[in-house]
Amino acid sequence: MISGTLIVLSVIVIVLGYFLSNRYKWKKCPPGPRRLPFVGNLLALDPLQFRSYSKWADEFGPIIRVDLATTKTVVISDYKMLKEIFSDPAFSGRMDFTIFDIAGKEKRHGIVNTEGEHWEELRRFSLRQLRDFGFGKTSMEDLVMAEVNELIEIWKESEGKPVSSVKDQLLFAVVNALWTITTGKRHSQKDTVLFEMTTKSNESLSEILESGGVLLFVPKLAKIFPTWSGLTKTRKTGEEFAAYFKKPIDEHKKSYDGNYTRDFIDVFLKEIKDTTNPTSPFHGQFGEDNLLGVISDFYFAGNDTTSTTLAWMILYLTKLPEIQKKIQAEIQEITGNTRPVSLKDRPNMPYTEAVIAETLRFSSITPQGVGHRAIRDKEFHGYLIPKDTVITPNIYYIHFDPKIWGDPENFRPERFLSPDGKTFKKHEALVPFSIGRRQCLGESLARDSLFLFATNIFQRFEIKFDKNGPDHGFEPKVGFIVITPMPFNIILKDRLV
Q: Which of the residue ranges 12-21, 151-160, 386-395 would you say has the lowest mean pLDDT?
A: 12-21
Report, as an integer, the average pLDDT of 109-127: 93
* Dihedral pair phi/psi, residue 419, rounded to 5°: -55, -30
pLDDT at position 19: 44
**Range list of H helices, 31-115:** 49-60, 79-86
Who has greater pLDDT, 12 or 422?
422
pLDDT at position 22: 41
Q: Which of the residue ranges 62-71, 157-166, 170-179 would you say has the lowest mean pLDDT?
A: 170-179
The highest-level CATH class for domain 4-25+49-494 is mainly alpha
pLDDT band at residue 1, thresholds of 50, 70 and 90?
A: very low
Q: Which of the residue ranges 44-58, 198-212, 276-290, 292-306 would you say has the lowest mean pLDDT?
A: 198-212
The H or E element that residue 331 is part of is helix 321-335
Q: Note the pTM of the prediction, 2 decimals.
A: 0.90
- Cα separations in angstroms, 369 against 301, 396, 496: 12, 9, 39
Q: What angle do CA 22, 24, 25 make, to 5 degrees?
A: 140
Using an 8 Å Cβ cutoff, are 394 and 54 in contact?
Answer: yes
Give the whole-number percent of the chain exceeding pLDDT 70: 89
Residue type, 162: P
- Numbered residues of the known binding site: 440
- Separation of alpha carbons 43 and 6, rounded Å: 8
- Cα separations in angstroms, 442 against 5, 119, 275, 445: 37, 15, 26, 5
pLDDT band at residue 382, thresholds of 50, 70 and 90?
A: very high
- Numbered residues of the known binding site for heme: 440
Using an 8 Å Cβ cutoff, are 309 and 452 in contact?
Answer: no
Q: Which of the residue ranges 94-108, 233-247, 345-359, 450-464 would you say has the lowest mean pLDDT?
A: 94-108
Q: What is the mean pLDDT of the chain?
A: 88
User: pLDDT tens, 195-229?
Assistant: 677 776 666 666 665 555 666 676 777 777 777 77
- Separation of alpha carbons 130 and 413, rounded Å: 32
User: pLDDT tens, 467-496?
Assistant: 999 999 999 988 778 899 999 999 999 999
pLDDT at position 2: 46
pLDDT at position 206: 64
pLDDT at position 44: 93
User: pLDDT tens, 31-90?
Assistant: 999 999 878 998 999 989 999 999 999 999 999 999 998 889 999 999 999 999 999 999
pLDDT at position 8: 60
- Separation of alpha carbons 72 and 274, rounded Å: 41
Q: Quick one: CA dihedral 394, 396, 402, 403, positive or negative?
A: positive
- Checking if the pLDDT of 10 tops 60, the result is no
